[in-house]
Chains A and B, each alone.
Chain A
Amino acid sequence: MEEKIICSMNGVAIYGIISICIFVAFFTGMLVWAFTKKASYLDKMGGLPLDSGEINSSANKTSNPK
């Protein structure tokens, strides 16, 4: 039954080929992009949440030993 569906679809193999091509292209591009980022940029980005710009921020003084 499943074979019948596959056989009756014209050129169904193309979807597999398209999938693998998109997959390889996407991941190659993404990895190249990620690994060519400079360390200074990555450090700056990683630190973003720690600077919220709040005035009189009472960071990390919110635990009560009670």
Chain B
Amino acid sequence: MNIETFKYDNRIVRAFAIATVVWGIVGMLVGLLAAVELFFPGANLNFQFITFGRIRPLHTNAVIFAFVGNGMFMGIYYSLQRLCKARMFSDFLSWFNFWGWQLIIVAAAVTLPLGFTTSKEYAELEWPIKVAIAVVWVAFAVNLFGTIVKRREKHMYVAIWFFISTAITITVLHVTNSMTMPAGLFKSYSMYAGVQDALVQWWYGHNAVAFFLTTPYLGLMYYFLPKAAGRPVFSYRLSIIHFWALVFLYIWAGPHHLLYTALPDWAQSLGMVFSLMLIAPSWGGMLNGLLTLRGAWDKVRQDPVLKFMVAAVTAYGMSTLEGPLMSIKTVNSLSHYTDWTIAHAHGGALGWNGFLTFSMLYYLFPRLYKTQLWSTKLANYHFWIGMLGIIFYIVPIYVAGITEGLMWKQFNKDGFLQYPNFLESIVQVVPMFRLRAIGGTLYLVGAFLMAYNLYRTAKAGQFEPDTEAQAPALEKTSEAPDGKYAFHRLLEGKPMFFTVLAIVAILVGGMVEIIPMFLIQANVPTIASVKPYTPLEVLGRDIYIREGCLGCHSQMIRPFRSETERYGDYSKAGEYVYDHPFLWGSERKGPDLAREGGRYPNAWHFNHMDNPRATSPGSIMPQYSWLLTQQMDREALPARLAALRRVGVPYPAGFENGPAQKDLDAQAAKVVADLKLGSVTCAPDKEIVALIAYLQRLGTDIKSAPVTTAAK
């Protein structure tokens, strides 16, 4: 037997580990600022770049892609080498992956506060950054598969299957959801419109949670938990079933984000049923993780690594029970658009992803630096402070969410809405927002303690850049140093056959759901009175997107009496055919705006944007006074209208060269004249004029002629 000696690359693991800690703290800090702005709207100091609407996507992107993303790469680069008994395929690709990813994060941190956003949740970054993400991700995938191909271990452990499913699925999701038409360097419009855009986005959004926050971390759980416990996983058979069932079922569940919306009912039901079925593999996985510790629970008392892991796996179990329950349509009718969703997301993020990342960091630093953890006691404090942080964060937000849901639905004995003013529900839950910020602060303090502990650990030890290892060479690898058989092995190796099966299993759900949605294009009932937005409204809509208004305002009235009483007729699929991208939103910190047009005079909107509390005492909306002074971007209009025409909006040819400008001037003059009637003086070229025009248009098409005709 030919024993080979080789070296594991620890430098890349350390780089990702440091990035994980740094970006984790940054992401949590931004989250804390966002949390404070919810009960103290002046916390942005009237500085547009840190208003809630702009930093909310910054927070979600930082936590998902910067904190968890770097944590994922850290864990994969460490475990994959050891599971394959091989150094990473290419050091160049490893570092390309690292620096490319950090540059993308920096680009996101700059562009999102500037308002460059596509508005699609967890996919907000504009098209040049999306291209960069695809390139870096492919580099990672090549490195991953290259390492698997040159491995010395014949069998592929289940963790690697999870990594493979992550690499493949994220590629498919990212490419499909990123189909946009550029209208300048930092502006683009989704190729899809309305209902289709919503389905593709939430097929992506849901599966980004599944294949970015869950599958790679499950792979890491299956590696690091047995390592930390010093015993094999409870049942390898169960882990096989966990993997296949999970990757097969997950992809179908996306429509549960769109229950009771204008999405066709069959797609909603499919999403709900598959979500419920997800409980089985998820809990199988959780139990498999926890039972790995059978007979070793005394270690959990001693070892902070295991403490964090047990809490993380338990949080995974809680989140994956709660998620399916929230997918039941009746539960969803209460939970959707409320803070319940935020609580659910943070149970997963803080508990599952956060704690598992912390456990990996506590596991890795002493090993990378060939020393002991500087202070186990401090790590234990971190555990308990983090745990308290999660509880103080989540519990108030559950209370807030359920309170909101119940208040929105409550009728009095005469059959009228008990709380007709939306603001009443927000004022009611503001104390919960304060408590949530305390929870977030505790969690952040814990992260700082960890950073200090890891820093002292690193200082005390000696970094080992490469770890020497030995393993027998796999047959054929040694016979063909020129890689002649590499491809052959790729095909004949049984695990690779399973990889192909995994691709099929993952894609089938998406195909069954998405293909009919594209066929539906010819079947969606068109509404004759629904017309494309005017040039001024297009600019206004772009401002709405730039400011992240959809972070707090939905544009989708569900078919409940409580909603139609409050907002007007429920939303129809045909109303959104020119919405590139769709702006349905997923959260209401303010009222739905789908039928905002004509509800208030123009002057009201002007004053409301200048100071929301002047028109709505107690409002938590930020001031948007810069809209009153900044000039609208007229120069961008031709490119934007042309891009919209290319994605299917029927603007006449040449409209953008002249007629559009005249149209814009005429409509702006009307808005300004109307403002004057309300004692407001405003120049017609200010952004507020465009935004008012857009808001006054919302939902009015169907009000004027509510006749729908089913297309042939």
Task: Give A49 to B36 CA distance when docked, in angstroms.
Answer: 43
Residues of A within 8 A of B524 (CB): 5
Residue of A nearest to B226 (CB): A49
Q: How many A-B residue pairs have CB under 8 A?
A: 143
Give me the interface of A with B, judged by CB distance under 8 Å: 1-6, 8-9, 12, 15-16, 18-19, 22, 26-27, 30-31, 33-35, 37, 42-50, 52-56, 58-66
Would you give the shortest CB distance from A31 to chain B, in whole angstroms?
7
Residues of A within 8 A of B376 (CB): 63-66
Does B375 sit at the interface, judged by CB under 8 A? yes
Given pairs A42-B235, A49-B79, A49-B226, 6 additional interface contacts (CB within 8 A): A15-B516, A19-B512, A27-B245, A44-B155, A49-B227, A62-B371
Task: Give A49 to B312 CA distance when docked, in angstroms.
Answer: 20
In contact, B374 and A64 (Cβ under 8 angstroms): yes
In contact, A66 and B375 (Cβ under 8 angstroms): yes
8 Å CB interface, B542-601 against A: 572-573
Task: Give A6 to B517 CA distance when docked, in angstroms.
Answer: 11
Give me the interface of B with A, judged by CB distance under 8 Å: 5, 8, 79, 82-83, 85, 152-153, 155, 157-159, 222-223, 226-227, 230-233, 235-237, 240-241, 244-245, 248, 252, 262, 264-266, 270, 302-304, 363, 366-367, 370-377, 467-471, 505, 508, 512, 516, 519-520, 523-525, 572-573, 708, 710-711
Residues of B within 8 A of A62 (CB): 363, 366-367, 371-373
Residues of B within 8 A of A18 (CB): 512
In contact, A8 and B366 (Cβ under 8 angstroms): no
Residues of B within 8 A of A60 (CB): 230
Query: Given contacts A34-B237, A46-B236, are A54 and B467 in contact (CB under 8 A)?
Result: yes
21 residue pairs from A and B, CB less than 8 Å apart = A6-B266, A9-B516, A15-B266, A19-B252, A22-B512, A35-B237, A45-B236, A47-B232, A49-B82, A49-B83, A49-B157, A49-B159, A50-B226, A53-B470, A54-B469, A55-B5, A58-B367, A63-B302, A63-B303, A66-B375, A66-B377
Partner of A64, one of B153, B244, B367, B375: B375
Would you give the shortest CB distance from B308 to chain A, in whole angstroms?
13
Residues of B within 8 A of A58 (CB): 367, 370
Partner of B155, one of A26, A48, A56: A48
Residue of B nearest to A44 (CB): B155
Query: Given contacts A2-B265, A64-B376, are A12 and B516 in contact (CB under 8 A)?
Result: yes
Would you give the shortest CB distance from A42 to chain B, in whole angstroms?
4
Residues of B within 8 A of A6 (CB): 264-266
Would you give the shortest CB distance from A8 to chain B, in whole angstroms?
5
Task: Give A66 to B468 CA distance when docked, in angstroms.
Answer: 30
Would you give the shortest CB distance from A53 to chain B, in whole angstroms?
4
In contact, B525 and A5 (Cβ under 8 angstroms): yes
Residues of A within 8 A of B223 (CB): 49
Would you give the shortest CB distance from B140 to chain A, in whole angstroms?
21
Partner of A2, one of B222, B264, B303: B264
Residues of B within 8 A of A1 (CB): 262, 525, 572-573, 708
In contact, B525 and A52 (Cβ under 8 angstroms): no
Would you give the shortest CB distance from A43 to chain B, in whole angstroms?
8
Residue of B nearest to A8 (CB): B523
Query: Given contacts A19-B270, A34-B240, are A53 and B373 in contact (CB under 8 A)?
Result: no
Would you give the shortest CB distance from A61 to chain B, in whole angstroms?
7
In contact, A53 and B237 (Cβ under 8 angstroms): no
Would you give the shortest CB distance from B21 to chain A, in whole angstroms?
18
Residue of A nearest to B233 (CB): A46
In contact, B83 and A48 (Cβ under 8 angstroms): yes
Residues of B within 8 A of A8 (CB): 523, 525, 710-711
Would you give the shortest CB distance from A40 to chain B, in whole angstroms?
11
Query: Given contacts A45-B158, A64-B374, A66-B375, are A30 and B270 in contact (CB under 8 A)?
Result: no
In contact, A50 and B230 (Cβ under 8 angstroms): yes
Residues of B within 8 A of A33 (CB): 240
